[in-house]
Amino acid sequence: MSTDSMPRSARFEGWRLAVIYIGVLLVFTALLFRLVNLQVVEGANWTARAIDNYKDEVSIPAPRGIIYDRNGYILARNVASYNVVITPASLPDDASDIQRIYRELSGLIEVPVGGPVTDASLEEAKLFAACVPGPGIGQLVALQDTLAPYSPVKIKCNVTEDIARIVQEKTVDWRGVAIEIEPIREFPTGSLTSNVVGYLGPIPALLEKQYVDKGFVPNRDKVGYAGVESSLQDILAGRNGARVVQIDVAGQELRNLEPPRPAVPGHNVTLTIDTRLQAAAEASLIQEMDYWETWFGKIRISSGVVIAMNPKTGEILAMVSYPSYENNRFARLIPSYYYQQLSEDPRHPLLNNAISAQFPPGSVFKLSTATGAFNEGVVDLSTVIQAPGQLLLCEKFNPNDLCTDSNTRPFVDWIFEKNPEGFGQIDFQHCIAYSSNVCFYKLGGGYQDEIEQGLGIERLGQYARALGYDQRSGIQLEGEAEGLIPSPQWKRINTGENWSTGDTYIASVGQGYVLATPLQVLMSGATIANNGKLMQPTIVREVTDGEGNVVEMWFNPQDFTVSPEQTEGSYQISPFTPNMKWDITTTAMIQSYSCDGGYCSLNENEKKAVEPETVAAVRGGTRLAITDPRGTLQDLFKGFPIAVGGKTGTAEYCDDVAFKAQRCNFGSWPTHSWTLAYAPYEDPEIIVVAFAYNGGEGASVAGPIAERVLKAYFELKAQDIEKGLPTFGQ
C-alpha cells in the first residue's frame, strides 16, 4: 500500500518531530547547565553546606590563670564544681524506669520530679537559667530532648563531693545520669581583696561578638568584671581549644574529623599586694570606725580607704576600700538581689574608692602649694609669716573691683576655735608642720603688702599636676578617676562665674572645687618622700606561665591592653621593673611666669623643673609635723622607733549624702579625715594614706590608722628577716 493512499491523519509530519527533539534538547541542556552550576560553579558552597550538616566544632575551655599575692598566697584560683546532669538520649526506653530514676534522684538532690510535661510547662522551663530553682527534672529533660537530646542538661549545680560520689556509684542503675565537673573561680581572701582582684561574670551582650571572635563561648565562658580579673583579662583567660567532630542528625558525636587543638592555659599573675599588710590595714580602719561609733553612740564613719606603697618602686603593698563585697558570691552567677543591694548602697562598695572616688583632699594638698610657693620664690626658709586665727580678704572677681564691706569676708584657720590668736609668727616649714590655713592662704593667693604676689591658681595647678593630681595614674585597674584641679576657664564654663581671689585661697588648702582620689593623694606624698621622683604605681609584680617562667609583658594604661611587645605609651609590668613617671627635679614641666604688680603673665615656650632644695624644704616640714611639740602628728608618733614624716588633712565637704541629711550648714560643714605618713624619713620604703569618710579631724581619726599600718609593716618585715624570708623590698 503506497504512502499516497494513507489517510492524512496517520501521516507523521517532520516538523513536529523536530519540535520534540528541540524541546528535549532544551530540557537536557537546562538540566546539564543546572548540574554544572551546582557541581562546578557552586560546588564548593554546597560541599561546605553538606560538611556543616555533619561537622561541628566543640570548644575546649582553657583553664584561667591563678592570681597570687607577692608572697605566693593564692587570691584567685579554679576549683572543681560538681553538677548533676542528664543526657535525654541516654535514658532508658521504658517510661516507668525513667520515672523511677527521676524519683530516686529527686530524693538525693532535692530537686522536684515535676508534674506532667506539657507545652505550657516547657515554655515555663525556658524562662529559667541552668541550675536555678524552678522547673522539675522532667521539664528540664523534656526541654533538652526537644533541643539537643545528646547534650547533657544541668539538673543541679555545685553539689557536695559526697553527693557526687553517690551519683557516680548509681550511674549503673541510673542510665543517662552523670556528674559533670565544671571549674569555677574561688577567692580565698574574699572581701579582703575583692576591690583589687575583682570577680567574673557572663559575657556581656554588647561585647559578645568581640569575645566570640576571640574564641569564647557565650553562656559558658566567664570574663572579668572588675579588678585585675577585668584589666588583665587577656593575660588570665588563655585561649580555648577545639575538637572538630562528626555528628548525626540528632547531634550525637560520632568521631573526630581532625586532631584536637588543645586549650592554652592563661598566665598566672602575681600582685604586689601583701595579704598580711592588707588584713592589717583593713583591721586598722575598722577598729577606728568602731571606736568612734562607740564614742558617739552612732555610725559616724561610713567608709574609708587605706593604701600603702613603696615610694621608691611604686609597688602597692596594700589597697583597702571599705566597705567591700564578697566576690565568692559571684562565683557561679551574680545574684540579682545582692547586686541590687550593693548598687543602691550610698557607700558604693562595688567601686574601688581608692582609685574611683573623688574627694576634697583638704590639707594634704598643701604639699602642692608648699612646693610651688617655695620653688617660685614666694617664700624661703627665712621668711616669717603672720598666721593669726583669721584674716579678712577683699574678694575680687575682677582686678578693678573695689574693696567694700560686701566683698570682704573672713578666712579662718583650723585652730581658731581653740585659739583665736592663731599660730602667730611662723616660718615656711612650720606652716607645713602646723598645717596653718592662714599661712597657705597667703602663700597661694598673696596678702596685702606681706606677700604681694602669691602662687596663683595657674601655677598652683601646674605644681599639683607635677605631684600627680588631675590625671589618671595609669595603674593596672579600670575605673580610675582623674580628679580635678580647677582653673578660671573651668569655672567660667561650668558655673558661668569669674574666678575670685577667694577661690585661689580655698584651692590653696585643697578645698573648693579641688577633688582628688586617695591614690593621687598618696602619689603626691610619695613624690616628696622620694626626693622628687614619682614612680609609676603598680599592682602587678610579675606574670608567669604554667611552668613558672616569668613572661615579659607590657601594659598600656590608655586602652588597658597587655602585649609581649612594647608599644607607645606602655610600660613594663613583668618581670617587675620600677618605672619612673618623672623626676620633678630634672623634668622641665612647670611653665614659667613673669609676675609684677600682683599679676603674672605666661612666658611662652619656657619651662622649668623643681629645685632639689624645694623638695628638701617641704620634706623638712613633714618631719617637723612629727617632731615639733605643736606638729599635727607629734602626739601620735611620739616614741615611734623609726623616723617618720607626714601630713594631715581635714577636708570640708557637702555631697549628696550630707545634703540629704541636712548637714551642709555654712560654717559647720562635715569633714573628711586624711593622713599621709612615710618611713623611714631619710630613706623611705613605705608611704601610707588613710582616709575616713566623715571622719573629722585628720590627726585624730586617719592618723591612728596610718600609724598602725606603719607599725604592722615594720613588724612583718622584722618577722620575715628573722625567718630568712624575702622582705617587702625584694
pLDDT band at residue 45 using 50, 70 and 90 as cut-offs: confident
Comparing CA positions, the residue from 160, 201, 200, 164 lying closest to residue 180 is 164
Pairing of strands 268-271, 67-68: parallel
Angle, CA of 411, 693 and 524, to the nearest 5°: 70
Pairing of strands 553-556, 561-563: antiparallel
CB 527 within 8 A of CB 467: yes
What is the C-alpha separation between 691 and 633, in angstroms, rounded? 15
Q: Is the predicted pLDDT of residue 729 greater than 70, yes or no?
A: no
Q: Is the predicted pLDDT of residue 628 greater than 80, yes or no?
A: yes
The C-alpha R_g of the chain, in whole angstroms, comes to: 36
Per-residue pLDDT tens for 481-511?
999 999 999 999 999 999 999 999 999 999 9
Selected residue with higher pLDDT from 625 and 41:
625
Q: Which residue's entry shows cell 586617719?
A: 702
Q: Which residue's entry shows cell 575680687?
A: 396
Distances (CA, A) of 452 to 582, 591, 595, 599, 600: 32, 21, 10, 10, 12
What are the two backbone dihedrals, phi and then psi, of residue 157, each rounded to the nearest 5 degrees? -105, 155
CB atoms within 10 A of CB 536: 23
CB 158 within 8 A of CB 79: no
What is the C-alpha separation between 200 and 183, in angstroms, rounded? 13
Each residue of 576-593: b (16+ CB within 10 Å) or e?
Answer: beebebbbbbebebbbeb
Q: How far is CA 251 from the centre of its chain?
A: 42
* Alpha helices for 509-561 (secondary structure H): 518-529
User: Which range (226-240, 498-512, 618-632, 653-667) has the least confidence?
Assistant: 653-667
Comparing CA positions, the residue from 351, 359, 358, 357 lying closest to residue 196 is 351
Q: Which residue's entry shows cell 626658709?
A: 381
What is the C-alpha separation between 131 and 156, in angstroms, rounded? 5
User: Which range (119-123, 540-544, 658-662, 666-670) has the least confidence?
Assistant: 119-123
CB 144 within 8 A of CB 88: yes
Q: What is the DSSP letter of 239?
A: B
Q: Which residue's entry shows cell 529533660?
A: 141
Per-residue pLDDT tens for 296-317?
888 889 999 999 999 999 999 9
C-alpha cell at 213: 571572635
Report percent pLDDT > 90 for the chain: 62
CB 645 within 8 A of CB 529: yes
- Residue 246 buriedness (CB in 10 A; 0-12 / 13-18 / 19+): middle
Q: What is the DSSP letter of 151?
A: S
pLDDT band at residue 25 using 50, 70 and 90 as cut-offs: confident
What pLDDT is attached to residue 219? 85
Average pLDDT over the chain, rounded to an integer:
89
pLDDT band at residue 17 using 50, 70 and 90 as cut-offs: confident
What are the two backbone dihedrals, phi and then psi, of residue 542, each rounded to the nearest 5 degrees? -165, 160
When pLDDT is averaged across residues 476-484 and rounded to a whole number, the result is 95
CB 607 within 8 A of CB 592: yes
Q: Is the predicted pLDDT of residue 6 greater than 60, yes or no?
A: no
Q: Is the predicted pLDDT of residue 224 greater than 50, yes or no?
A: yes
Q: Is the predicted pLDDT of residue 125 greater than 80, yes or no?
A: no
Q: Is the predicted pLDDT of residue 218 greater than 80, yes or no?
A: yes
Q: What is the DSSP letter of 315?
A: B
What is the C-alpha separation between 227 and 156, in angstroms, rounded? 30
What is the C-alpha separation between 102 and 108, in angstroms, rounded? 10
Q: Which residue's entry shows cell 603673665?
A: 601
Comparing CA positions, the residue from 483, 521, 488, 516 lying closest to residue 503 is 488
- Residue 638 buriedness (CB in 10 A; 0-12 / 13-18 / 19+): exposed
Comparing CA positions, the residue from 296, 252, 318 lying closest to residue 89 is 252
What pLDDT is attached to residue 1? 46
What are the two backbone dihedrals, phi and then psi, of residue 541, each rounded to the nearest 5 degrees? -95, -45
C-alpha cell at 162: 559526697
Q: How far is CA 413 from the centre of its chain?
A: 38
What pLDDT is attached to residue 318? 98
Write down the pTM of the prediction: 0.88
pLDDT band at residue 433 using 50, 70 and 90 as cut-offs: very high
CB 71 within 8 A of CB 182: no
CB atoms within 10 A of CB 190: 16
Per-residue pLDDT tens for 549-587?
999 999 999 888 888 888 888 999 999 999 999 999 999
What is the C-alpha separation between 155 and 133, in angstroms, rounded? 9
Q: What is the DSSP letter of 205?
A: G
Per-residue pLDDT tens for 669-711?
899 999 999 999 999 999 999 999 999 999 999 999 999 999 9
What pLDDT is attached to residue 119? 62
SS3 state at 268: strand
What is the C-alpha separation between 636 and 459, in angstroms, rounded? 34
Q: What is the DSSP letter of 152?
A: -
Mean pLDDT highest for which of 216-220, 232-236, 393-397? 232-236
What is the C-alpha separation between 633 and 240, in angstroms, rounded? 55
Per-residue pLDDT tens for 649-668?
999 999 888 888 888 887 78
What is the C-alpha separation between 551 and 450, in angstroms, rounded? 59
C-alpha cell at 472: 589618671
Return the amino acid letter for 314: G
- Residue 93 buriedness (CB in 10 A; 0-12 / 13-18 / 19+): exposed
Q: What is the DSSP letter of 564?
A: S
What is the C-alpha separation between 321 and 198, in angstroms, rounded? 12
When pLDDT is averaged across residues 43-47 and rounded to a whole number, the result is 70
Q: Is the predicted pLDDT of residue 520 greater than 60, yes or no?
A: yes
pLDDT band at residue 140 using 50, 70 and 90 as cut-offs: confident
What pLDDT is attached to residue 629? 94
CB atoms within 10 A of CB 214: 14
SS3 state at 706: helix
Three-class HEC string of 558-619 = CCCEEECCCCCCCEEEECCCCCEEEECCCCCCEEEEEEECCEEEEEEEEEECCCHHHHHHHH
C-alpha cell at 228: 585585675
Report percent pLDDT > 70 for the chain: 93
Comparing CA positions, the residue from 638, 637, 664, 641 lying closest to residue 653 is 664
What pLDDT is attached to residue 44? 73
What pLDDT is attached to residue 259? 85
Element of type H or E holding 504: helix 501-508
Pairing of strands 553-556, 304-309: unpaired
pLDDT band at residue 452 using 50, 70 and 90 as cut-offs: confident
What is the C-alpha separation between 285 and 319, in angstroms, rounded? 12
- Residue 560 buriedness (CB in 10 A; 0-12 / 13-18 / 19+): middle
Residues in Cβ contact with 480 at an 8 Å cutoff, skipping those fewer than 6 apart: 355, 356, 472, 473, 517, 519
Selected residue with higher pLDDT from 593 and 557:
557
Domains of the chain: 58-271 (3.90.1310.10), 283-538+579-723 (3.40.710.10)
What is the C-alpha separation between 431 and 625, in angstroms, rounded? 10
What is the C-alpha separation between 72 and 375, in angstroms, rounded? 44
3-state DSSP: the chain helix, strand, coil percent, rounded to 5? 35, 25, 40
Q: Is the predicted pLDDT of residue 607 greater than 50, yes or no?
A: yes
pLDDT band at residue 151 using 50, 70 and 90 as cut-offs: confident
Element of type H or E holding 164: helix 161-170
pLDDT band at residue 127 using 50, 70 and 90 as cut-offs: low
Q: Is the predicted pLDDT of residue 599 greater than 90, yes or no?
A: no
C-alpha cell at 279: 588584713
Q: Is the predicted pLDDT of residue 596 greater than 90, yes or no?
A: no
Q: Is the predicted pLDDT of residue 724 greater than 50, yes or no?
A: yes
